[in-house]
Structure 1
Amino acid sequence: MTTLELKNIRKQFTNGGASEDILKGISLSLQKGEVTALTGTSGSGKSTLLTIAAGLQLPSSGDILFEENRMSALSAEARRNIRATQFGFVFQSAHLVPFLTVEEQLLLMLDTAESTLGKSERTQKAARLLQLVGLEHRRHAYPASLSGGEKQRAAIARAVIHEPKVLFADEPTASLDSSRSRDVMKLLLDLTRELQIATLLVTHDEEMLNYTDRVIHMSDGAMARANSLIQ
């Protein structure tokens, strides 16, 4: 089932009075329970496409449909609300709050997403998710005491605690070694399946593509080719 659909997305920037095409008519759909990867060289437009898909910036032309609602027709406040309640984000750096424990990071996300769960229900939900990502024994730990892989797993748990419909991951393994990168990608794939999230991933690491369902290769702002991987 399609959760997010991009139709003929174009993005132009003006540089010195001249227009430069960053995205040249990209169309793709994100399916529930699947990981779609964007890959390509630096400057190919993959990160710009991710930020547009997430509603962080608007395209110059084209439509973004989230559950059949046109994002460009929504107010800035409505788009912010969707990002807070329906979208999740994971970046290259974990960006954990240094003075909050791992468990508190997750509970803060539920507050931000305006969860209707009671206090005990929130705590139970956080405990279940931390067990799922293998961090139940680190629930009271602060970020400074976590390894790089543990920080990224905590960031992923925080990104999905409110059960988003779409997860955006921008180079989530770039700061990790090969072993921890594989662990993080397997976790992203497992959570995508388990929670039936539509995940859009940007990566330059060819090995990480083995943990995705579909790969979109981008070049000079256009879709060069698309491959289906996991069946």
Structure 2
Amino acid sequence: MIFTTQDIRKTFKTGEVAEEILKGIDLSLTQGEITALVGASGSGKSTLLTIAAGLQLASGGEIHFDGEELTAMNQEQIRQIRAESFGFVFQSAHLVPFLTAEEQLLLMLETAGSPLSKKQRRDEAARILQSVGMGHRKTAYPASLSGGEKQRVAIARAIVHQPKLLFADEPTASLDSTKSREVMELLQQLTKTLNIATLMVTHEEDMLAYADRVITMKDGRLA
């Protein structure tokens, strides 16, 4: 297992009132597999994903990634691991509006501290865009891309630095059924061929067919 959580808890306080959102989560992720988290709104699935990705802190428990304990690290150490080893795909593509598709990937490589030369980075960006079917649109800006094309560029950006973990939060929620299937087929293919451990939150039952494991959350626990 490249990633595990042990007894993860999360409590939010509003004044004197404390609400426990996550109630002792044990989760493991394996490379080459898509793990889907499902559950009703408020079940804690998105909170678990953001804690697993280091985007917010747990109130208790441990997170281990690739032999290291993330919960024992400071924020700068977590940020570095997140930049180098994690990839993110969200419901909205969140592309930078004034950057071309190619430039979106080049920015990711720079953020991840890629050791590649400038030419090598451009070659890698072009290769990854080609692999997701967007090689012909590398000079296009987000405003000229369809919803499905934007999400393909977002996926390319998420994997260009060769992450070990991919976090996908409702990656098909803003797409029609045809584009949703195309995006999930792409995520499935990349998870296998690049040997990535993918954690996906979704409420769309049709998308579960692409997952290797489906885990249901209910009231802050894994059901």
TM-score (norm 1): 0.95
Q: Which residue of 1 aligns with 2:146?
A: 147
CA distance in structure 2 between the partners assigned to 1:54 and 1:17 by the alignment: 28
* Residue in 1 that maps onto 2:121: 122
Distance 1:89 1:109 in 2: 11
Q: Distance in 2 between matches of 1:15 and 1:38?
A: 27
- 1:210 maps to what in 2? 209
1:36, distance to aligned residue in structure 2 (A): 0.5
Q: What CA distance in whole angstroms lies between the structure 2 residues aligned with 1:194 and 1:21?
A: 38
Q: Is residue 61 of structure 2 the alignment partner of residue 62 of structure 1?
A: yes
* Alpha-carbon distance in 1 for matches of 2:97, 2:125: 18
Distance across 1 between alignment mates of 2:63 and 2:155:
25
The aligned counterpart of 1:90 is: 89
Give the whole-Å Cα distance in 2 for the aligned partners of 1:75 and 1:14. 23
Q: Which segments of structure 1 move beyond 6 Å, counting only runs of 4 or more? A: none
Cα-to-partner distance string for 1:3-32 (whole Å, 9 max, x where unaligned):
111111111112341221101111011101
What CA distance in whole angstroms lies between the structure 1 residues aligned with 2:108 and 2:58? 28
Cα-to-partner distance string for 1:55-79 (whole Å, 9 max, x where unaligned): 1112111100011211111111000
Name the amino acid aligned to 2:157.
R
Q: Provide the residue aligned with 2:132 in structure 1.
A: 133
Aligned to 1:179: 178
3-state SS of 1:8 partner? strand
Deviation at 1:127?
1.4
Report the Cα distance in structure 2 between the residues aligned to 1:134 and 1:57, rounded to whole angstroms. 33
| Distance in 2 separating the partners of 1:27 and 1:97 | 35
Report Cα offsets for 1:177-228 as digits up to 9, x if no partner. 011011111111111111111110000000001111001101111111xxxx
Tell me the secondary structure at the aligned position of residue 58 of structure 2: coil
> Helix, strand or coil: the match of 2:2?
strand
Q: What is the CA distance between 1:141 and its match in structure 2?
A: 0.8
State the SS of the aligned residue for 2:61: strand
Secondary structure, aligned partner of 1:115: coil
Q: After the TM superposition, which residues 148-167 of structure 1 pair with which residues of structure 2 at under 5 Å, given as runs?
A: 148-167=147-166
CA distance in 1 between partners of 2:54 and 2:3 (Å): 11
Provide the C-alpha distance between the structure 2 equivalents of 1:84 and 1:99, rounded to a whole number of angstroms: 22
Structure 1 CA distance, aligned partners of 2:132 and 2:87?
16
Partner of 1:6: 5
Q: Look up the match of 1:198.
A: 197
Give the CA deviation at 1:159.
0.5
Deviations 1:146-183 (CA, angstroms, capped at 9, x unpaired) = 00000000000001000011011111111000110111
C-alpha RMSD of the superposition: 0.8
